[in-house]
Amino acid sequence: MSSIFDYTLASAREALRTRKISAVELVDAHIEAIERLDDGLNSFITRTPEQARLAAKEADALLAKGEGGSLCGLPIGIKDLFATEGVRTTAASKILGNFVPPYESTVTANLKRDGAISLGKLNLDEFAMGSTNLTSAFGGVENPWKRRDSDAKLVPGGSSGGSAAAVAAGLVLGATGTDTGGSIRQPAAFCGIAGIKPTYGRCSRFGTIAFASSLDQAGPMARNLQDCAILLESMAGFDPKDSTSVNRPVPHYEAALGRGVKGLKVGIPKEYRIDGLPAEIEAIWQQGINWLKEAGAEVVDISLPHTKYGLPAYYIAALAEASSNLARYDGVRFGERVKGESLDALYEATRAAGFGDEVKRRILLGTYVLSSGYYDAYYLRAQKVRTLLQRDFLKAYETVDVILAPTAPSGAFAWDEKPTDPVQVYLNDVFTVPASMAGVPALSVPAGLDSRGVPLGLQLIGRFFDEETLLAAGSVLEKAASFTHRPTIHAGVSA
Amino acid sequence: MSLDAKTVAKMARLARVGLSDEQVHTYQKEMQGIIGWVDQLNEVDVTDVPPMIGTGLAQPRLRDDQVTDGNCREKVLSNAPDREGPFYTVPKVVE
């Protein structure tokens, strides 16, 4: 072990327990790395070094007595969509620029209960709406990876782009993300890390700022699946404060990692072979198929016939719910206010100044698809298509245990290569949206680098509440890929 | 379906998002493109298909009718952009 930045969450946990390192040392090193690298990367919106140092001292006191929870003393980052009591929570929006929640989200409360130490709040697309992390009111995030032949800034993906970048650059050992249509999996793939979107209902949504309530789901992001499993076990669980939370026991996820895939049936959906899929994505997918076969899995061709309609149906459902959820930001009870002569003028001025372009576009479209005369044509029809998408998966799981697909149709692209047409940007989510619509769990693991040296991810999609099979199969992919590459910008590399 | 500038302006009014004429024009073009793209959903046969409402995984549940939270007026008011004592302020709404 040459550097403190070689630790994974799991190995740091071991080093803390055996007192090879103290929580104060570990936390200090990461705070120093954030100060050194994050003015450039911009992965944090709010840093909380003082609170972290205080918590590290307390963690050391517990660890010295052989006490402390499963995450005691481990430095992590929190996507700035989770309400944190007494710590500014912005959703990367101007309208919440000075919002300090008087309460804590259930997911972050669980992590705190188990001793995790937050180093701050991580950047994202405004209200989690985007796939590039360029829509943040606090500036875009830079992907710590670079192409071999160029210094161009790459996007980290989104919306959990700050989480992915901070984990990849070694600024934190793990982070929380949220996934509405791919917001954990796509940035994980773009930044060469692992990420899990659990089954809808696995992690409580209480205190997570809502984008599209029937799709939003919190999950872990970390450098490998073992670390994700450790975090998920802490984050997950029934919460009476969330009516969509499902009451079932949380398994010991780490135990599933070594199960292997012998006899497992892996489905390859033919509809994911879309026109124009880059040869490199096709190749890494085939590589994944071979890896699982070599490990003893049976690979089966399957059909998810409504895949094509996943994306347009997703946008209708997500935008409708967003327009409704974001109605609360009106400048009266919290958030920024722009004065107006009348109440309506106050609302209009507040929302005009507080929301960015992408958020406004989605609110307007959401309002349109819900408006009188269009509700049946758009929203109701989309919800029916959603039923068909879910049936596709349920039918597939009659014959297969897990589904393998690429995570995204490309690797990370440069800031200035972002398409100007919104529909083209939305196409980034083509492989991740169907699982979100169906509510089934999915994960992404780094599988290799493309010809320009940028990471590519593979996605596994599983049965309801069967995150364990996902971890077992993902772990096989992870071992076979033996992805040890590091990004250009990393805490362990001195400038 | 066509989405004209008048409709965009109406949506902005319904959603209480102030837009300039120029913005209405820009959004109209973008929204027209997106709506044109989602129109492909009309190809799908949805006869007798129920709409998906929730994922059907969470069980509706009852709880005891007891007060378990509240009595935290200062916390609730702590983020008020403008207040007078225990009240939020707004522009006059009654003439």
- Note the ipTM here: 0.94
Query: Which residues, 6+ apart, have CB-to-CB distance to A261 below 8 Å?
Result: A292, A295, A296, A297, A472, A473, A476
Chain-chain contact of B81 with A332 (C-beta, under 8 angstroms): yes
Q: Specify the CATH number for A16-495; select among 3.40.190.290, 3.40.50.410, 3.40.50.620, 3.90.1300.10.
A: 3.90.1300.10
The percent helix, strand, coil of chain A (3-state, each to 5) is 40, 15, 45
**Eight-state DSSP code of residue A141:** P
Largest CA distance in chain A: 70
Alpha carbons B92 and A439: distance in angstroms, whole number: 45
Nearest CB to A423; choose among B34, B46, B54? B34
| Residue A420 confidence (pLDDT) above 90 | no
Helices (H), A376-416: 381-396
Question: What integer pLDDT is reported at residue B94 of this predicted model?
Answer: 81
* A33–chain B nearest CA distance, Å: 33
Query: Which chain A residue is nearest to residue B18, measuring alpha carbons?
Result: A348
Q: For residue A462, what are the β-bridge partners? A: A402
Does residue B33 belong to any structural domain of this protein?
yes
| Residue A276 confidence (pLDDT) above 90 | no
Residue type at A255? A
A265-269/A298-302 β-pairing: parallel
Mean pLDDT within B43-60? 89
Determine whether A183 is an active site residue.
yes
Higher per-residue confidence, A100 vs B3: A100
Q: Which two tokens stand for residue A260?
A: 């292997």
| Residue A209 confidence (pLDDT) above 80 | yes
Per the structure, the count of domains in chain B is 1
| Residue A21 confidence (pLDDT) above 70 | yes
Chain-chain contact of A351 with B3 (C-beta, under 8 angstroms): no
| Residue B52 confidence (pLDDT) above 50 | yes
Alpha carbons A416 and A301: distance in angstroms, whole number: 38
Instruction: Give SS3 for A187.
Output: helix
Q: Which two tokens stand for residue A42?
A: 């911009």
Strands across the sheet containing A402-406 = A44-47, A117-122, A75-79, A174-179, A217-222, A194-197, A442-449, A455-462, A402-406, A265-269, A298-302
Query: Which chain A residue is nearest to residue B27, measuring alpha carbons?
Result: A361
Higher per-residue confidence, B55 vs B6: B6
Alpha carbons A89 and A94: distance in angstroms, whole number: 11
Which single residue is written with the structure tokens 């090193």?
A29
Mean pLDDT within A293-298? 98
| Confidence band of A202 (pLDDT split at 50, 70, 90) | very high
Determine whether A451 is an active site residue.
no
Catalytic residue among A118, A159, A163, A323: A159
Pick among B55, B66, B87, B94 to test the A interface (most A CBs inside 10 A): B55
Tens of pLDDT, residues A211-220: 999 999 999 9
Determine whether A159 is an active site residue.
yes
Q: How many CB pairs under 8 A join A and B?
A: 162
Higher per-residue confidence, B62 vs A96: A96
Quick check: pTM over 0.80?
yes
- Cα A382 to Cα A378, A390, A428, distances in angstroms: 6, 12, 20
| Residue A489 confidence (pLDDT) above 80 | yes
* Cβ–Cβ under 8 Å, residues A105 and A78: no
Chain-chain contact of A422 with B34 (C-beta, under 8 angstroms): yes
Helix pair A9-17, A23-41: axis angle to 10 deg: 150
Does residue B75 belong to any structural domain of this protein?
no
Chain-chain contact of A384 with B50 (C-beta, under 8 angstroms): yes
Chain-chain contact of A199 with B57 (C-beta, under 8 angstroms): yes
Judged by a CB distance cut-off of 8 A, whether residue A342 touches chain B is yes
* Cβ–Cβ under 8 Å, residues A320 and B11: no
Question: What integer pLDDT is reported at residue A427 of this predicted model?
Answer: 84
Chain-chain contact of A364 with B88 (C-beta, under 8 angstroms): no
Scanning A412-431 for CB atoms below 8 A from B yields 421-423
Tens of pLDDT, residues A338-390: 999 999 999 999 999 999 999 999 999 999 999 988 999 999 999 999 999 99
Mean pLDDT within B57-81? 91
Does residue B58 belong to any structural domain of this protein?
no
Alpha carbons A465 and A251: distance in angstroms, whole number: 10
Judged by a CB distance cut-off of 8 A, whether residue A462 touches chain B is no
Question: In chain B, which residues have their Cβ closer than 8 Å to the Cβ of A365?
Answer: 31, 34-35
Tens of pLDDT, residues A309-332: 999 999 999 999 999 999 999 999
Q: For residue A208, what are the β-bridge partners? A: A82
Average pLDDT across chain A, whole number: 96
Chain-chain contact of B91 with A245 (C-beta, under 8 angstroms): no
| Residue B1 confidence (pLDDT) above 60 | no
Does residue B17 belong to any structural domain of this protein?
yes
- Cβ atoms within 10 Å of A85's Cβ, excluding its own: 16
Instruction: Give SS3 for A414.
Output: strand
Instruction: Give SS3 for A43.
Output: coil
| Residue B93 confidence (pLDDT) above 90 | no
| Confidence band of B61 (pLDDT split at 50, 70, 90) | confident
Q: Which two tokens stand for residue A34?
A: 């954030």
| Domain containing residue B20 | 5-42
| Residue A124 confidence (pLDDT) above 80 | yes
No. of H helices and E strands in chain A? Answer: 15, 11
Chain-chain contact of A333 with B79 (C-beta, under 8 angstroms): yes
* Cβ–Cβ under 8 Å, residues A411 and A452: yes
Of the candidates A490, A400, A469, A493, the one whose C-alpha atom is nearest the C-alpha of residue A225 is A469
Mean pLDDT within B15-42? 94
Catalytic residue among A43, A105, A131, A183: A183
Peptide bond into A323 cis (omega under 30): no
Does residue B15 belong to any structural domain of this protein?
yes
Question: What integer pLDDT is reported at residue A1 of this predicted model?
Answer: 46
| Residue A495 confidence (pLDDT) above 60 | no
* Cβ–Cβ under 8 Å, residues A402 and A289: no
Nearest CB to B55; choose among A243, A315, A439? A439
